[in-house]
Structures are given as C-alpha cells and as structure tokens.
Amino acid sequence: MANTDRSVEYRQIMSRAICGKGRKFCQVKHSIHPPDHIHHILGAWLINHNYESSKVGEAVEVRGTYDVNIWYSTKGNTKTDVMTETVHYAEKIPLTYYDRYTREGTVNVSTICTQTPNCVAAKLSPHKDSISIKVEKEFVVELIGETKVTVAVFPHELGDWDDKDKEDFISEMAEDDEDDTFDDLDPDLVFDDLED
C-alpha cells in the first residue's frame, strides 16, 4: 500500500518533553563527634543547604551539603555554645517513569527539594563520645529531554472531514481490532450459563 493512500498520515516531530520523573523521601542518621565537656544537647538546626543533581544511568543523583548546628551546654549546664559541622550527602532518586527513547545528551535534570533537610531528633551517646542526629528531606526530580513524538496529521483540509460521519469511522476501527480466536466463546451466550 502506498503511503499516500492512508487517510491519516503520521509524522514524527521533535519535542522537548518530560522524559522521567521520580520522588524520594529520605531519612538518614549522622554521627557527629561532640566537643569536649559537652553536658547536654539543647537543640539542633540545619542550615545552608546546597545541592546539585545529575542523571546517573536510569536514576538521578543529588549531591549536596548542609551545616548541622548543635546547641549544647557544658560544665553542668552553666554555659552554652554552638558547634557547626558540614555534612555531605549523595542520594540516588529512582525514576518511577522513564522514557528510554529520549535523545542522549539532551537531557536536563530539574530537582526540587520538597522538604528541606530538617533535624527530627538528636541524641548524645551514653559515653558522650558521639551525637547521633536524624535528618529528613525529600526531593522531586524531572528529566527534560528531546524526544520524538508521533502525531497523526490530516493531509486533507479539516473542512473535508466535516460532512463525514465520524462515528462510522470510529466503529470501523473498533471492528478491525477484534481478535477472532476462540470464536466459539460468545460472551453474551456463554455468560448466562456459567455456573461455579
């Protein structure tokens, strides 16, 4: 069949589109060496969060840092001080949706931190030789890249279609779709005499 005989012609167009999506909630524990003479932890706060992301295989890797600030007391709760430590992290965000037909080299990663790193618990070990803090954060990533999209183009002017019965067209297509194996099983007939 010649190409021109088809009523609908297909074209491939290049387009930038979302080619991958992922989301990850992470909970991690850090162990921090405490200052000398620490008596008690009074509070913990994470600030200065920075991150970069890149595509690694079929996932996105987010690498970043934040500063852990720990407010603590010394000398039997008579003085307080703050210590700061920068923490580095790398998180792999799996993609729930990924289109393999994206053109390599055209992909950009867009990462949104939907929950900035937040300290939810901090604890001093019994021997006061380490502080463990629990941190929660969440990322949403999107891959944007070039991909081919196949679209149906109508070679005739749309005006030509106006007087055609569109429903006939659709039902014809539906009939073509029918599979004719198991002809002996007509749902309407069989269904009524099904017994367990």
| Interacting residues with another protein (CB under 8 A) | 25, 27, 40-46, 94-96, 98, 114, 116, 118-122, 133-134, 136, 179, 181-182, 184-185, 187-188, 190-191, 194-196
* Closer CB to another protein, 14 or 28, in the complex: 28
The span from the CA of 6 to the CA of 79, in Å, is: 85
Residue (58 or 129) nearer to another protein, CB: 58
Closest separation in Å from C-beta 21 to another protein? 11
Question: Minimum Å distance from CB 157 to another protein?
Answer: 32
Question: How far apart are the C-alpha atoms of 56 and 58, rounded to whole Å?
Answer: 6
Query: Could you tell me the CA-to-CA distances from 3 to 7, 11, 93, 117, 172 in Å, in that order?
Result: 9, 12, 44, 57, 20
Q: What are the Cα distances from residue 131, in Å, to 56, 90, 114?
A: 33, 21, 27
Residue among 16 and 40 whose Cβ is closer to another protein: 40
Of 157 and 175, which has the nearer Cβ to another protein?
A: 175
Distance in Å, CB of 116 to another protein, minimum: 8
- Expressed in angstroms, the distance from the first to the final Cα of the chain is 50
